[in-house]
Structure 1
Amino acid sequence: MFERFAAEARRAVALAAEEARRMHHDHLGTEHLLLGLLAQPQDPAARVLGGFGLDLDGGRRAVLRALGGPGPEGDAAALAAIGIDLDAVREAVESEFGPGALDAPPPTRRPRWSGPRFTDRGRRAMVLTLRAATGQRARRIETGHLLLGLLREGGGVAVRVLRDQGADLAELERATEASLVGGLRAAS
């Protein structure tokens, strides 16, 4: 499936799988693909996203908010509100049971593919990524095509995160297309 993907686009998908594992998710959705793009800050797609005020750390926080998880900061604040110091609890547990005793266990591995499975929306974004590249008659699928696939999927967590961050999706799509056309000219 990834034969036509440029190295950076392939890496973005691999980084997306790492982000899913990091969040202890057993699926790979549009949100993880967005984070995979943001994880390569020098890449053209990440630079386009950066122009709209999004970076990897902000993207991670926005994804956690969009998914409804409070994240570590929210957990600590909620516990502090009822008089529990999360740092003190962690320190006490780790002094008794060792460092990392409260960390989640690593996800179990699947026999054929050790990575998370694409969600329906993630799969749809990948199909739209291919269509974006085909529509431009591109020989390789670039990260910009992957971003276009996420935008054109239109209903996943990635789009919700981008909207929540105040991005104008039509303007983001135009900027992404322009970056791809500029990249094609530079390659010629």
Structure 2
Amino acid sequence: MFERFTDKARRVTVLAQEEARRLRHGHIGTEHLLLALLRQGDGVGAQVLTGLGLTHERADEAVGRTPRAGDLDAEALETIGIDLDAIREKVEAAFGPGALDRPRDRKAPRGHIPFTPGAKKVLELSLREALRLKNKHIGTEHLLLGLVRDGTGPGMRVITQAGLTADDVRREIARHLGRPDRH
């Protein structure tokens, strides 16, 4: 499939890996694809997103706020009466401040970083979007269409947190390409 990617779309996959490393994530998810689309800058995907008001900086900030599994576990524990703040206070009283914090010198992942199942699905959907539009290549616009077609995952949450819908993105891509939007 990657042989059908334009140079800009290939660059997005490389930048997605760089974004995952920068954020010290051990996976490449839909949020990293979104950040990479924005960081790539001059592709249709980035032009559409920035034209709709979503910048790399804004998306990066939102990715930092996206709930992680540990956050959701903390909420679940609170519902059964376990107060993690109280536990942290007791542990820090016994072992010192920051005893439960992750080491700050943790290095970015090295070597191959795998795509999550959601990111793989977005890549597959980008191919389907290219075929739907009767294109022989997969460009950044197809990657973005795949992301919104999936409609789930952290990347799409960032888009919706920015006040955008999948239809907004599709409409803007169609306008940008000079085509009517038929999804």
The TM-score by the shorter chain falls in which range? 0.7 to 0.9
Match runs of 1:41-60 below 5 Å = 41-60=41-60
Question: Shift in Å at residue 172 of structure 1?
Answer: 1.2
Question: Shift in Å at residue 102 of structure 1?
Answer: 4.4
Q: Distance in 1 between matches of 2:56 and 2:135?
A: 27
Deviations 1:136-173 (A, max 9, x none): 11121110000000000111111111111111321211
SS where residue 35 of structure 1 aligns? helix
Question: Shift in Å at residue 181 of structure 1?
Answer: 4.4
Q: Distance in 2 between matches of 1:102 and 1:164?
A: 29
Q: What letter corresponds to residue 106 of structure 1 in structure 2?
A: A
With structure 2 as the length reference, what TM-score do the two structures score? 0.74
Provide the residue aligned with 1:63 in structure 2: 63
Q: What letter corresponds to residue 21 of structure 1 in structure 2?
A: R
Q: 2:155 aligns with which of 150, 154, 158?
A: 158
Q: Distance in 2 between matches of 1:181 and 1:129?
A: 19
Provide the residue aligned with 1:8 in structure 2: 8
Provide the residue aligned with 2:75 in structure 1: none
Deviations 1:20-66 (A, max 9, x none): 11111111111000001000222221111012211111111111111
Consecutive aligned runs of 4 or more in structure 1 exceeding 3 Å deviation: 67-70
RMSD: 2.1
Q: Distance in 1 between matches of 2:51 and 2:60?
A: 17
Q: Distance in 1 between matches of 2:158 and 2:147?
A: 11
Count of residue pairs brought into register by the alignment:
148
With structure 1 as the length reference, what TM-score do the two structures score? 0.72
Provide the residue aligned with 1:25 in structure 2: 25
Question: Shift in Å at residue 178 of structure 1?
Answer: 2.9
1:136 aligns with 2:133: yes
2:43–2:141 CA contact under 8 A, matched in 1: no
Structure 1 alignment gaps of length 5 or more: 71-100, 183-188
State the identity %.
Answer: 41
1:107 aligns with 2:109: yes
